[in-house]
Amino acid sequence: MRGGLIFYRGIGSAARAYLESDHSHADDYYLEHGAAVAEWTALDSNGQVFDRSSLDGDAYQAWVDWQDPLTLAKRGNPRDEVRLSKDGEVVVRPSSPRFVEMTVNCDKSLSVAAAMFPEVSAALDAAQAQAVEAMGGYMAQNSVTRVGARGAQRFVPVERLEQVAVVHRTSRAGDPHRHVHVQWNTRVYAEGQWRGLHTAATLRQQAALRGVGEAAINSNAELRDALARVGLTFDAATGKVTNLEEHARVLSKRADQINRHAARFEAEWRAAHPGQEPDRALRLRWDQQAWALDRPQKANANMASEAVWLQEMKDAGLQVDGFAPTAPAERVTVGALTADELTAEVLSAAEARSSAWSIADLEGYVGLAVAARNIESDAES
């Protein structure tokens, strides 16, 4: 998994637009269409889910604005920062982070494999969902908030943490990119009322969250078995499907082409409209035009995304079917890992990155070490 924690400080409508723009118009999960696309869960301090629902765009927007997504009851008022601009004008900007986000993603070759084979697609979706669940459990068990008067505050465990997950299958450029936006609201419940998440502690946990998520995906037995059945070879240490690396490069080149077209459309528009800023609708139109321009097999533009991607890979002379099935990798139980072996590997990885580490950092390296092996265990282990 790539990327770290992001603290979002904008309003709900802007967060909704951000999610709408993070994938192509061809994506199956499009927030603006009004369907239930955000999966909301509430977790207790043990990491157990005790409430869940699907949110449409309006409910998601309310959740970002610190309202109960089901009843719309307010849970607090975000603080604003008031400043004077260089021209002496009063500028009001949101200062309270509304949510903390981390993206569950995978190597491009895995996304390509999912586009090629439906059974791999289902397995990858399940593996990423497992990663979301594991990361949410970790956050719920390790998050804290402050209680008490200023100067006499104490830290207490969070009793209720809320999480939203939004699944996307494509990138903005319209190429395969399976990823899930996981967001944790900064309004948490503890000792009888809604309070603010202690985000400084959360920031120190990002290495652990990344390790937990990567371990959930790369050690997922169903995903590995699905890849082996269709003849694809998976390297858990890197997260790559080794016999699809060229396929991934071809589709990445297409994404680069689309991004260049979109950038050209924007530059031409700005030259004709000095001092103006393009709105979301205009940017969406540029994305659509860039996606269609110079696209191979343009006559088949009405095909499903998977069919278009397959055609592009065929046009590049790449194999897209007929791979010889392979035997699934031998699985290792958690008990087969010796403490000394794991400790040595984790410390070696930590020392290579820094001279000092937190417990959360070490937990992250443990996750990465587990991800590199074909571990067979339940989620709790």
Q: Give the pairing type, strands 154-157 and 6-8.
A: unpaired
Q: Residue 28's pLDDT is what?
A: 46
Candidates 187, 198, 184; CA nearest to 156 is 198
Q: Residue 123's pLDDT is what?
A: 96
> Which are the contacts of 192, defined by CB distance < 8 A and separation ≥ 6?
none
Numbers of helices and strands, H then E, in the chain: 12, 16
Considering the entire predicted model, what is its pTM? 0.78
Strands (E), 259-369: 332-333
* Residues in a beta bridge with 52: 41
Expressed in angstroms, the distance from the first to the final Cα of the chain is 20
Q: What is the mean pLDDT of each run of 10 residues along the chain (381 residues)?
A: 86 84 54 64 96 92 94 90 72 80 94 95 95 94 92 93 92 83 97 95 89 87 93 90 93 76 90 86 77 54 71 92 82 64 68 64 68 58 51
How are the residues of the chain apportioned to helix, strand and coil, as percentages rounded to the nearest 5?
A: 45, 20, 35
> Which secondary-structure segment (H or E) carries 188?
strand 187-190
* Residues in a beta bridge with 375: 332
**Chain centroid to CA 272:** 36
Kindly report the length of the chain: 381
Cα distances from 112 to residues 237, 244, 263, 281, 374, in angstroms, run 18, 8, 25, 29, 22
> Which secondary-structure segment (H or E) carries 209?
helix 206-218
Cα distances from 153 to residues 77, 145, 146, 149, 150, in angstroms, run 21, 10, 6, 6, 6
HEC sequence for 109-167: HHHHHHHHCHHHHHHHHHHHHHHHHHHHHHHHHHCEEEECCCCCCEEEECCEEEEEEEE
Q: Residue 32's pLDDT is what?
A: 42
DSSP 17-36: HHHHHSS-TT-S--GGG-S-
Query: d(Cα 53, Cα 34) in Å, to the nearest integer?
Result: 15
Q: Residue 244's pLDDT is what?
A: 96
Query: d(Cα 78, Cα 98) in Å, to the nearest integer?
Result: 8
Neighbouring CB atoms inside 10 A of 153's CB total: 12
User: What is the three-class DSSP state of 315?
Assistant: helix
Query: d(Cα 198, Cα 157) in Å, to the nearest integer?
Result: 10
Q: Residue 300's pLDDT is what?
A: 41
Contact 166, 181 (CB under 8 A): yes
At 356, list the tokens.
């000092």
Q: Residue 241's pLDDT is what?
A: 95
Query: d(Cα 69, Cα 40) in Å, to the nearest integer?
Result: 9
Contact 83, 93 (CB under 8 A): yes
